[in-house]
Amino acid sequence: MNTEVDVLCVGAHPDDVEVGIGGLVHKLVRAGHNVGILDLTRGEMGTRGSIEERAAEAQDAARILGVTVRENVGLPDGAITNTHEAQGLVIPYLRRFRPKVLIAPHEPDRHPDHSAAHRLIADANYFSGLAKLESEGAPYRCPRVYFYRVYGESVQPQMLFDITQEFPVKLRALQAFRSQFFNPQYEGAPTYVASEAFWESIRSRAAYWGSRAGVEFAEPLYAIEPVILAVPPGLEGVV
């Protein structure tokens, strides 16, 4: 399959993208963009849910968000490392998807996999652009890389996106992960992520960021490099 996407969103685990930027993903899809999700691991270390359940849940969530493609690198859950070997496994995906915008987890994060995914994707994207680096696919380095936070530390972001319209779809995509989040119908060991308190925090985080921007719900995105724009925001489309 040779699928190029406009935007590639990377998660350490299936559901990271939905937690961090599920609203933004659906917003971009609604705007007509071709969006892909790349999960680095199958989440096999999770307390609840089997690999098969989580794979099916991830595909259901992808359909709800409307993404074009969702694939899994199959790195070990709980043991993501930024090694040349792991970079070598990720680079063929970057060279095949050739995203115009790449979005990955930020660091620091209390889950070491999220921090490791941040460094792995940043470095793999750099090396992917080297002509002499032998791997599947033609060399490609995504020029625009942004980051999201899975656990939502209240660090000042560089960008906020109004997801008021998309918020119900974000919740439905999260509910597709039947084994993972608050779901009285699912019999599994209790975890914080599966608690009602965590489910409430999804709404309160989106409402907090929304309150910072004068909208009901928003999601933040982080940039490390300065973001170059044609005109100051607010003047797009204004002659």
**Interface contacts to Zn ion, rule CB under 5 A:** 12-13, 16
Q: How far is the CB of 151 from Zn ion (least distance, A)?
A: 9
Q: In the structure encoding, which two tokens stand for residue 197, read together?
A: 């308190």
Could you tell me the smallest distance in angstroms from the CB atom of residue 43 to Zn ion?
Answer: 8
Residue 52 · residue 77 · CB < 8 Å: no
CB atoms within 10 A of CB 140: 17
Neighbours of 45 (CB within 10 A): 12
Structural contact between residues 136 and 178, judged by C-beta atoms closer than 8 angstroms: no
Report the residue number, 16 or 219, with the smaller CB distance to Zn ion.
Answer: 16
Least separation, in Å, of the C-beta of 75 and Zn ion?
Answer: 12
Whole-number Cα distances in Å, 10 to 35, 109, 137, 196 = 11, 15, 19, 26
Element at 102 (helix H, strand E):
strand 101-105
Number of residue whose CB is nearest Zn ion: 13
Give whichever of 12 and 90 is closer to Zn ion, judged by the CB atom.
12
Tell me the closest approach of the beta carbon of residue 109 to Zn ion, in angstroms.
8
Report the nearest approach of Zn ion to the CB of residue 133 (Å).
28
For Zn ion, the closer CB: 13 or 149: 13
Cα→Cα distances 3→96, 98, 99, 140, Å:
7, 9, 10, 14
Nearest CA among 58, 92, 64 for reference residue 180:
58
| Smaller CB separation from Zn ion, 39 or 166 | 39
- Name the residue nearer to Zn ion (CB basis): 46 or 210: 46
